[in-house]
Amino acid sequence: MKTIQCLVVCALVCILPVVNIKAQCGPGTGQASMTYDTTVVGVGRAPYHFVFPRFDPSIGTLVAVRLQSVATITYQFTLENLEYTPKNVRHRLTRFDELSGATLSSGVYSEYTTPWFGYYPVAANDNNAFTGPDAVHVGPVNIRNNDTMINNTYYNTAAYLGTGNVSFDYTTDAENTLSGGTLYDGSITDVLRFNITYVYCSASILAPGTIDLTAQNAGPMSALLKWSSNNESRASAYEVMMSADGINFSKIANVPASGVHSNDVGRYTLKYDLTAPSKKLHFRVRQLTKDNKVAYTAIRPVAWGIKDQEFQVIPDAGGSYINVQVPQGGGNWAIDLYGVNGQLIQKNNLSGTASEMIPLKRKLQKGIYVVRATNIATKELYVKKIFIQ
């Protein structure tokens, strides 16, 4: 089979699909889902590398992860009789899909074989390759049309939690089966859509209201944490949590609710002293309410002793613009703003500067949003969640 490995299109978007995964959410909670989706165009035999953000546990409890690929495959081929007597020829194609990654305990495989093409009557070989009455041309035809190739759901979700990304290697291949004494030439074009869906119990449903956390370096061995809540009259306590990897958190402080608030907004400050030098730690705050419900802040990283390369997003309180700061070093960046349900709201480009105020085409309503920055040259990816009150 004549094939040339090439990647034509690769786009990353967030969507909210219909997901039918049974998940047990506690009383007063609701099931929600978030999907990251990538589409590539190839020629039937190619390796791909997909990278997606991990699930942020501050927005809920992750209960399931679904990995799915959907393909449209267009195929055409020519069969030629190699014998010097007329005969009938036929052919079929087998497509292979393979998925692997560090989060998977074993690889995932899929195989699809077309029905037989033929029999086709052809004349005796005329010594002219792929032309004349001794050859038959078929296609292009769709042998797969938005058909699912891989669809697996996982309930051990620990490897998908926290900051950073998860990555997968995806390989496609094909082989043909021919009748004897037949010469073959064929080509494939495939459009492959691969996505990861996070199914979770929403933390915001557990405790109506929001808490917002900021964290910063307060010296070589200290971090300064500040948080506020907009349902302070319901709060009973706050647990301050820390993690070295952004996945596994432990409690470092318990702060009783002060009971002091203005317009139901409570404000807190905590200075945390490190017990040993560290380059980077992650913090979040868990709110406990008087009716035994919980809510989490977003995860906030703090770095020491190294140049801070974090991607920063500071929204206007009124939802009219966002201030974006990308890592130093220049370059061109694509800045995408999504709703928490994955809907793309606005796209912008940042070029030649490390920070910029981006006006929003429409004022953001109250809620959670996702800002994604992608370095166009290096494909370096950063993701931040922001909250508009």
DSSP state of 304: -
Tokens 């791909």 sit on residue: 48
pLDDT at position 29, please?
A: 53
Select from 227, 203, 369, 243 the least CA-distant residue to 285.
227
Q: What stretches in the chain show pLDDT beneath 70? A: 1-30, 202-209, 247, 305-310, 328-330, 340-342, 378-381, 389
pLDDT at position 205, please?
A: 42
How far, in Å, CA of 183 to CA of 129, rounded? 9
User: What are the C-alpha distances in Å from 338 to residues 249, 374, 381?
Assistant: 27, 14, 15
pLDDT at position 25, please?
A: 62
In total, the chain counts a number of residues equal to: 389
- As separate numbers, helices (DSSP H) first and strands (DSSP E) second, the chain gives 1, 25
pLDDT at position 212, please?
A: 85
Residues 284 and 300: beta-carbon distance below 8 Å: yes
Select from 378, 339, 373 the least CA-distant residue to 355.
373
pLDDT at position 23, please?
A: 45
The radius of gyration of the chain's CA atoms, rounded to the nearest angstrom, is: 27
pLDDT at position 15, please?
A: 33
